[in-house]
Copies of this chain bind each other. A is one copy, B any other.
Amino acid sequence: MKNPPSLDQLIAALKVLPGVGPKSAQRMAFHLLQKDRGGADKLARALDHALLNLRHCQRCHTFSESPLCNVCADAERRQDLLCVVEMPADLLMLEQTRCYDGLYFVLMGRLSPMDGIGPKDIDLEKLIARAVDGVVQEVIIATNFTAEGEVTAHLISEMLQAHGLRVSRIARGMPVGGELENVDPGTLAQAMYERRSVS
């Protein structure tokens, strides 16, 4: 006696989700099949829809349904400021503070030597190409203040300065080890206003 193949396949497929092991995959599968078939169908449709419609913005690399995201397509934004963040959620957090009207570049990750994530795994060359367009005057680095975010900020600073760009880092207004996503907008706005030039 074994599970029916389609049940085993579903349990295995749920394990692709980060943080989901065999036990919770099984619990999830039972829950969906037994208690929430509508939700399971909605999830399948949402996955298909997202895979089909979401791409990366050509300029800033965040998720977008169109070639350019809303921020990059907005001619009113200051074109001479470029803010580098790790993830799309960080971009949204900064937008919520309403203290920044420049453009963004989303790394879609961070350097993490411990996890084997090196410079080639986050698209730094695309960032350089974007930053040296002649219009950008200042690059503001807003990676997290975690060890990994700081390592990332350090490397990016050096690379951009080597290209003659002015680089700044948002002020350490937030707790050491804190992540942008978990900080209140006021603190984050303060950190943006107090950004310091990288010497």
Q: How far is the CA of A69 from the CA of B3 in the complex (A)?
A: 10
Given contacts A17-B28, A30-B87, A32-B47, contact A65 B6 (CB under 8 A): yes
Identical chains bound together, number: 2
Q: Quick one: which of B1, B9, B50 contacts A10, CB cutoff 8 A?
A: B50
Distance of A194 from chain B, by nearest CB (Å): 23
| Complex: A44 Cα to B49 Cα, angstroms | 10
A91 at the interface (CB under 8 A from B): yes
Taking a contact as CB atoms under 8 Å apart, the answer to whether B36 and A50 are in contact is no
Interface size class on chain A is: 35 or more
Query: Knowing A43-B13, A44-B48 touch, does A34 contact B108 (C-beta < 8 A)?
Result: yes
A7 in contact with B47 (CB, 8 Å): no
B-side contacts of A24, CB under 8 Å: 19
In the complex, how many angstroms separate the beta carbon of A198 from the nearest chain B beta carbon?
26
* Contacting pair B92 A2 (CB below 8 A): yes
Chain A contact residues, CB within 8 Å of chain B: 1-7, 9-10, 12-14, 16-19, 23-24, 26-34, 36-37, 39-54, 63-65, 69-71, 87-89, 91-92, 95, 108-109, 181
14 pairs of residues in contact across A and B, judged by CB atoms under 8 Å: A1-B69, A1-B95, A4-B63, A5-B65, A6-B49, A13-B39, A13-B42, A14-B43, A16-B32, A16-B36, A17-B17, A30-B87, A37-B51, A44-B47
